[in-house]
């Protein structure tokens, strides 16, 4: 079967289980052919569809995330290696990088960056790509996620600018940072998630107690001692948590303000130290 016909057939099959069947099919075919999606679409190989493509389509049809099947996910200006044990980067998290870019616009960028709950290095490595003079620390409790973060840092050429620590949030960190980023787990224990999310992605990177606020209780009291003068903390939140999570930071003497994602939902709390 030609690549063209295999793509059309796969998109039809995936339409029953995926909201983006054609995109999924193209990404899987690109991975099977060892090409980028752009190259696949602009100059498709004049050869039959590779046999592994059908296997990838079947796994996707069963709910396995595309990013785990291809081993890659784009975020901001970088591409990250991802797989089981690492939270898949979401476009919503780019809200934190946008906020940081706006905060430092017109003045020197951050020199020291802290990423709490770094996963595969998502926010930290995107920020280091944005500010080439910066260095940073990424913290995560998952050794599996940090394995991907180390690979990503090395592949992007950031190995000498990054320190990756396995630990519990801010424990053992005693310096100040110009930029603190965090995408903590914030899903309530009984919340329903999209197809394949809870089945495949690590629960410790998703769920945060009965109301989803457990990690904000841990983070809020620590930010005051972590931020440098003129610094910014950008903390990701669920779309309906601006008030409840914000109240915890206000109790800690901070003044958070919400930042909206592209859909217009509150997606981050921003805290400035001045």
- Per-residue pLDDT reduced to its tens digit, 189-217: 988 888 789 899 999 999 999 999 999 99
Q: Give CATH superfamily name and number for 85-273.
A: Vaccinia Virus protein VP39 (3.40.50.150)
Backbone angles phi, psi at 239, to 5 degrees: -60, -20
pLDDT, position 264: 94
CA nearest to 59, candidates 215, 196, 190, 224: 196
Q: To which H or E segment does residue 114 belong?
A: strand 112-116
Low-confidence stretches of the chain (pLDDT < 70) are none
Query: Is residue 150 classed as helix, strand or coil in its secondary structure?
Result: helix
Going from N- to C-terminal start, the domains of the chain cover 3-62, 85-273
Helices (H), 34-183: 37-42, 51-61, 66-70, 94-104, 122-130, 143-155
Q: To which H or E segment does residue 138 belong?
A: strand 135-140
Q: Is residue 271 within 8 Å of 256, Cβ to Cβ?
A: yes
How confident is the model over 63-114, as pLDDT tens digits?
999 999 999 999 999 999 999 999 999 999 999 999 999 999 999 999 999 9
Query: Per-residue DSSP letters for 69-110?
Result: HHSEEEETTEEEE--TTSPPP-GGGHHHHHHHHHHHTTS---
């Amino acid at each position: 079967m030609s690549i063209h016909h295999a793509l059309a057939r796969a998109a039809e099959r995936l339409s029953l289980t995926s909201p983006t069947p054609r995109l999924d099919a193209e990404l899987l075919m690109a991975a099977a052919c060892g090409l980028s999606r752009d190259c696949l679409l602009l100059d498709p190989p004049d050869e039959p569809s590779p046999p592994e493509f059908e296997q990838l389509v079947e796994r996707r049809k069963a709910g396995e995330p595309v990013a785990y099947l291809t081993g890659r996910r784009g975020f901001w200006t970088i591409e990250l290696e991802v797989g089981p044990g690492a939270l898949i980067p979401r476009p919503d998290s780019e809200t934190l990088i946008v906020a940081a870019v706006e905060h430092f616009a017109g003045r020197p960028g951050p020199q020291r960056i802290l990423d709490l709950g770094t996963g595969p290095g998502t926010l930290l490595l995107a920020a280091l790509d944005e500010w080439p003079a910066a260095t940073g620390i990424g913290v995560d409790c998952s050794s599996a996620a940090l394995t991907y973060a180390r690979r990503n840092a090395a592949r992007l050429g950031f190995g000498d600018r990054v320190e990756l620590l396995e630990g519990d949030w801010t424990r053992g960190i005693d310096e100040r940072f110009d930029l603190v980023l965090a995408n903590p787990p914030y899903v309530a224990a009984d919340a329903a998630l999209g197809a394949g999310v809870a089945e495949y992605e690590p629960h410790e990177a998703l769920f945060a107690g009965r109301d989803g606020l457990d990690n904000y209780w841990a983070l809020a009291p620590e930010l005051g001692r972590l931020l440098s003068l003129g610094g910014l903390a950008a903390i990701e939140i669920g779309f309906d948590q601006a008030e409840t999570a914000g109240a915890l930071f206000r109790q800690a003497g901070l003044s958070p303000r919400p930042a909206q994602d592209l859909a217009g939902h509150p997606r981050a709390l921003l805290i400035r130290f001045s």
